[in-house]
A and B are shown apart, each in its own frame.
Chain A
Amino acid sequence: MSDMVLTHKPARTKSTVRTGLGLPIRGVIALGYLGLLALGAVFADFIGVGDPLRQNLLGAKMPPGEHFWLGSDQLGRDIFARLIYGAREVMLGASEALLIAFGLGVTAGLAAGYVRGRLDSILSAIADMLQSVPAIAVLLAVLAVFEGNIHAAMILFGVLASAAMFRVVRAATMSISEERYVLAARLAGVGTWTILWRHLARRLRSVLMVQSAIVVALAIVNQVGLSFLGLGSKPPAPTWGSVLMDGAAVLFTDTWMIIPPVVMISITILAVMVVGDAFQDAATTRIGRGSPIRPSVRYMPGAGARFGTVAISNQQPLVEVSGLSIGIGGRGTPLWLIQDVSFSVRHGEIVGLVGESGAGKSVAARAILNMFPNGSVVEGTIRYAGREVVPPARGVPSPRIGYISQQPMAALDPAFTIGNQLCEAIALHDGARRGKEREKAMELLDLVQIREPSKVLELYPHQISGGMAQRVAIAIALSGNPQLLVADEPTTALDVTVQLEILNLLKALQQQKGLAILLVTHDWGVVARMCERVITFYAGEIVESAGVSDIFFDPRHPYTRALRAADPHGQRGVERLPVIAGQVPPPGKRPSGCNFQARCQFGIARCALKPIELETYGDDRHVRCIRLNELKVPR
C-alpha cells in the first residue's frame, strides 16, 4: 500500500537560476541584510554601536559624518545607535505577530480543511469576521488601555492576521486531501496524516513563506506607525517610529534627519517582501514581452519555403499557406513548432488536418486567423481570398474567417447573454444594419438549428448544454458571413450523439452556403464523414496530403499507414490493436532528417542524413518520404 502512495510523488517544479540555498540571488541578498540587522540588534551592546540614549546637547543635529555615522538628533543622540537598538523592538514585535498568526492560522486551517463540515463553516465565519475588523481601530483601543504596550498590540495584530493565513492553509489542505493518493490511503486506513503532512508541507512551503512575509511586513508597518504617533514605547526608548517623528519635527530646518529612518524602514520592509517573493514558485513569473491580447510576433520576410512552394492546384484556392514555419523564442534559433508547412483550401471544400496532439495542426490552423503564440517567429506567407493575410498588411482590416474551438462551454463569455455576444458579433461585421442585430441573431440561431431562438438569446452560457453552446459558437463564427470556417476539434468535448448533430450541421452549412471548412481533428471517423482532402501532420511537418479515399485505402507515408492501422474504427474481431511504439519528438528534440525515423518500421540510415522534401506523388498528392517509390508495395 505504502509503495503505491510513494510512487505518486508529484514532479518537482521547474525553477530559474537558483543559488545554493535554493533561492534566487535577490532573496539571498535580502535575507543577508535581515540577518545582519538582527545580529547587529542582538549584539548591539558588544559591537560598539554606541549608546542610543546618551544626550549631548553640544553635538545636537549634527549631519552624518565622522562623529555620528547617520548624524545626531535634537538631543544629540546617535541616530545610528537609535535605529539599531530600535530594530530590537521591531523584530520582537514582528515575531510576536507572526508566531500568533502562524500558530492560530495554520492550526485552524488544517483542522477546517481536513475535518470540514460544521467546524469549517464556523472557522471560516470567524475568519470572515476578523478580516472585516479595521485593524488599527482595535489596536488603538488596546494601546489606550495598556498604555504604550506595543507587544499587546502586536499580539492582537497576530490574531487578526491569522485569518489570511487560515484561508491559505485551509484551501491547500482541502485540495490535497481530495487527491487520489490521499483518498486511497484514507480508504485503506493507512497513515493518512503522515501522507497528508508530507505533501502539505511541500505544497504549503512557498505559500506560507509569502503569507508570512506579508504578515511581518504589515506588523512592521503598524508597529512603526503606532510608535510614530507616540503611542508605542514611551520616550526616550529608541524606536524607529520615534526617530522618524524626531526627524519630522525639525523638517523645516534639518530636512536630512528624516532620511536615515525613512531608508531604514523602507529597506527593511522591502527586504522582508523580497524574501517572501523569492520563495514563490519561480515558474509563475512570466518572462518576455507581449501579452495574450498583444502577442509579440516577429514576421521574417523573404524566408519562405525550404523547398519552394508546392502548387496544389491550378485553380485559385481560397486559402494558400506557403512555407509557413512558426517558432517560439527570441534570439538565437527559435524552437520550431511547425516547419515548412504548405497547403491550400479550395472554395467550399472541407479539408481535414490530422495528427497526434502536439503535431502542430492547431498551430497551423490558427495561423490562418493570424493568431500566434506570444513571442512567435513567423516565416512564410498565407493568402486568403487572393489577399496576403500573413504577414498582415498594415491598416487593412482582417478578413472574415469564422473560428470554433474544442471547448464550446469555455468559448462563450460567461458574463454576457448569448444575445449580447451574438449581437455584438453581428454589429461588428454588419455595421450598416444597426438596430437590426436581434433580427439577424434570430436568423443565425435558426440557421444553426436552435429551437426557440428568442428564448435562447436571453440565456447565459452556463444555462445551456455543450451541444447548444457549440451551435451558438458556430452562429457567432458565421455572423460575418465568412467563406471559411476554421474548426479546431469541434466535437471532441461533446457526447457522441451530439457530435453527430454538430457534424451534420457543419456539413449542411457547407452544402447550403458553400462554406469551406478547415477541420482539425484526430478522429478518423470525423475525417471519413466530413472531409474531401486530408493533410497529415507529424512533429510539426506535413507528412502526407491526399484525397480522403487515398488516405483511407492507399496511405503512402509510413506514419499515415501506422496511424490508419492504429485506428479503432473498422477493427474487426479480437485482434490486438496495433500501436505506434515510441513518442513524437518534441520541438527542439527533432532529429536531422526524417522526424519519424525512430518509430518507422521502414527506417534506414539514409533517413537521418538531411531534411526530407515533400514530394508530389500522382495527381494532387504529396508525401514526405525518401523511400516513397521503393515502398510501393501493395498492402
Chain B
Amino acid sequence: MKRLILYRLAMALPLLILVSMLTFVLVSLSPGDAARTILGSNATPEQYAALREALGLNDPVLVRYWHWLVGAFEGDLGRSLINGQPVLTAVTQRLGPTVSLVSLTMVVTVVFGLILGIAGAVFGGRLGRIVDLLSLFGMAVPNFVLGVCLTAIFAVMFRLLPPGGYVAPDVSLLGWARSMILPVVCLSFFAVGILAQQVKASFSDALQSEYTFNLIANGFSRRSIIFKHALKNSALPILASVGVIFSAMLSGTVLVESLFYIPGLGSLAVMATAGSDLPIVQGVAVIFTLAVVIANFLLDLAYGALNPKLRTAEA
C-alpha cells in the first residue's frame, strides 16, 4: 500500500513535467510572443527587443522552462498572449462551470453505470445484452454528435430546454439545472456505457466465483450477496475504470462546453487554440493533468481501503 502511494507520487511529478514541458516547447515554437502582445503593433523594434530581453525571451528554451516551472510552483503560469491576463486568473475564472459539469456528470455516470451494470449481471439475458449495446452506441455516437441531436430534439423541436449557455447556481438553481441537463447527458452517455460494461463484467466474475456459490448454498440473502459481497469484490476494477473515465471526461468537456456555450476550461482551451494563445492552452493542460493525478491518487487510497491484501501487506 505504501509502495503504491509512493509509486503514484513518483509518477505524478514526471507526468506534470512531461505535459508542461511538451506544451512549453510548443510555445517556444509558436510565432507570437508575450513581448509583441504586450506592446501591440505600434512599438518600435528597439522597444520590442528591449522588452524581449527584459522578459527573458532570448534565453535558451530550457532556461525559460526552468523560470516557468519556478513560477508555476508559486502559482504563476504566465500570461495570455491575446489580452495579457494572467493564466491562473483566466483559469480560475472559468473553473466553476467545468467543476459543475464534471462533478454532475461523474455522479450521473457512477449511479447509472452501477445500476445498469449490476442489473445486467444479476438478470443476465436481454438486460445484459442491452448494457453491451449501450456501450457500443456510447462509442459510436460521440458526445458532440449526440449533443447536436439532443439540441435539435429538446431545444429546437420541443423547446423544453435551452440550447446552450450557463447559469451559475447562485443566480438561479433551476436555471443552472436546466442549463446542465443536455451537457451532462451528452458527456455521460459514453461513460455510462463503458462503466456499466465494466461493472457487469466484474459483477459476473464475482457472482460466478466459488465464494458466491458457497454464500448462496449456505442461505445468504441475495441482497447481501449482490450489494455487499459482490460489490466490494468488484470494486477494484470498477474504480480503475472510473479513473480512466474521469480522464476521458475532462477531454470531453472541451467539445461539450464549446457546443453548449458553457464558459468553462474546455471552451477556454478551444478559444485559446483557435487564437494560438499557447500559455492558456498550456495552463488548461496542466490543470487537467493535475486533476487526473489527484483523482488517481484518491482512487489509489480507495484501493488500499477496499483491498485487504494491500492493506494487510503493509505490516
A125-B277 Cα distance, complex, nearest whole Å: 32
| Cα–Cα, bound, A81→B307 (Å) | 56
Question: Which of B23-31, B83-91, B103-111 forms contacts with chain A?
Answer: B23-31
Residues of A within 8 A of B288 (CB): 134, 137
**At the interface, yes or no: A291 with Cβ under 8 Å from chain B?**
yes
The A188-235 residues at the B interface (CB cut-off 8 A) are 214, 217, 221, 224-225, 228-231
| Measured CA separation A274–B136 after assembly (Å) | 8
- The answer, yes or no, to whether B208 is at the interface (CB within 8 Å) is yes
Which residues of B are found within 8 Å of A269, using beta-carbon distances? 139-142
Interface of B is mostly: helix
Q: Which residues in A have their C-beta under 8 angstroms from that of B308?
A: 414-415, 417, 460, 462
> A251-B148, A476-B218 known; A291 and B142 CB under 8 Å?
no
Give a binary string over B281-301; 1 marks a CB under 8 Å from any A CB, 0 the rest: 110110011011100100000
* Given contacts A147-B276, A231-B274, A134 and B136 within 8 Å (CB-CB): no
Measured in the bound complex, the distance between the Cα atoms of B221 and A480 in whole Å is: 13
Chain A residues whose C-beta falls within 8 Å of the C-beta of B191 in the assembled complex = none
Is B140 in contact with A293, judged by CB distance below 8 angstroms? Answer: no
Contacts of A460 in B (CB 8 A): 308-309, 312
Contact B211 A230 (CB under 8 A): no
- A142's partner among B26, B123, B152, B204 (CB-CB below 8 A) is B26
Q: Enumerate chain A residues within 8 angstroms of B248, measured Cβ to Cβ.
A: 135
- Distance in angstroms from A273 CB to nearest chain B CB is 6
Q: Is the CB of A132 within 8 A of B141?
A: no
In A410-450, the 8 Å CB interface with B consists of: 410-417, 424-425, 428-429
Who on chain A is nearest to B234 by CB? A415
Which residues of chain A come closer than 8 Å to B269, judged between CB atoms?
137, 140
Q: A223 to nearest B CB, angstroms? A: 10
- Kindly report which residue of chain B lies nearest to residue A252, judged by CB atoms: B156
Closest CB in chain B relative to A471 CB, distance in Å: 14
A247 within 8 Å of B by Cβ? yes
**Least Cβ–Cβ distance between A239 and chain B, in angstroms:** 13
Give chain A interface residues in 91-150, CB to chain B under 8 Å.
125, 128-129, 131-138, 140-145, 147
Of the residues A141, A247, A251, A296, contact of B23 by C-beta under 8 Å: A141
Contact A145 B29 (CB under 8 A): yes
Q: Which of B219, B247, B289 has its CB near the most chain A CB atoms (within 10 A)?
A: B219
Query: Does B173 make an interface contact (CB < 8 A)?
Result: no
In the complex, identify which listed stretch (B11-19, B34-42, B59-67) lies at the interface while the others stay far away.
B11-19
Among the listed stretches B72-80, B92-100, B177-185, B224-232, which one makes contact with chain A, having 4 or more residues with CB under 8 Å of it? Answer: B224-232
Residues of A within 8 A of B284 (CB): 137, 140
Question: Interface size for chain B: under 10, 10 to 19, 20 to 34, or 35 or more residues?
Answer: 35 or more
- Chain A residues within an 8 Å CB radius of B312: 460, 462-463
Residues of B within 8 A of A133 (CB): 15, 18-19, 247, 289, 292
Interface centre among A131, A137, A296, A462, by most B CB within 10 Å? A137
**Cβ–Cβ contact B209 & A410, under 8 A:** yes
Q: Which residues of A contact B204 (CB under 8 A)?
A: 291-292
A401 CB → nearest B CB, Å: 8
Query: A337 at the A/B interface (Cβ < 8 Å)?
Result: no
| A402 at interface, CB cutoff 8 A | yes
Given contacts A128-B11, A129-B15, A273-B140, contact A140 B276 (CB under 8 A): no
By beta carbon, the residue of chain B nearest A265 is B145
Majority secondary structure of chain A interface residues (helix, strand, loop or mixed): helix
Residues of A contacting B163 in the complex (Cβ-Cβ under 8 angstroms)? 251
Q: Say whether B216 faces chain A, with CB atoms less than 8 Å apart.
A: yes
Instruction: Say yes or no: B281 contacts A262, CB within 8 Å.
Output: no
Whether B121 sits at the interface, judged by CB under 8 Å, is yes
Asked if B149 contacts A291 (CB within 8 A), the reply is no
| Closest chain B CB from A135 CB (angstroms) | 5
| Residues of A close to B125: CB separation below 8 A | 288-291, 296
CB distance from B239 to the nearest CB of A (A): 13
Among A134, A145, A270, A476, the most chain B Cβ lie within 10 Å of the Cβ of A134
B145's contact among A144, A262, A407, A473, by CB below 8 Å, is which? A262
Q: A413-B229, A428-B221, A476-B218 are in contact. Are A134 and B140 (CB under 8 A)?
A: no
Q: Annotate A356-389 by CB proximity to B: 1 below 8 A, 0 otherwise.
A: 0000000000100101001000000000000000
Question: A244 CA to B11 CA in the complex, in Å?
Answer: 40
A242 at interface, CB cutoff 8 A: no
Q: Is the CB of A265 within 8 A of B142?
A: yes
Known contacts A137-B288, A428-B219, A480-B219; A410 and B210 CB within 8 A of each other = yes
Q: Is B273 in contact with chain A by the CB < 8 A criterion?
A: yes
Can you list 5 residue pairs at the A/B interface with Cβ under 8 Å? A133-B289, A141-B278, A147-B276, A416-B228, A476-B218
Interface of A toward B, CB cutoff 8 Å? 125, 128-129, 131-138, 140-145, 147, 214, 217, 221, 224-225, 228-231, 244, 247-248, 251-252, 255, 258, 261-262, 265-267, 269-270, 273-274, 277, 286, 288-294, 296, 366, 369, 371, 374, 398, 400-405, 407, 410-417, 424-425, 428-429, 460, 462-463, 473, 476-477, 479-480, 486
Interface on B for A, CB 8 Å cutoff?
11, 14-15, 18-19, 22-23, 26-27, 29-30, 121-126, 128, 136-137, 139-142, 144-145, 148-149, 151-152, 156-157, 163, 204, 207-222, 224-226, 228-229, 232-233, 235, 244, 247-248, 250-252, 254-255, 258-259, 269-270, 272-274, 276-278, 281-282, 284-285, 288-289, 291-293, 296, 306-309, 312
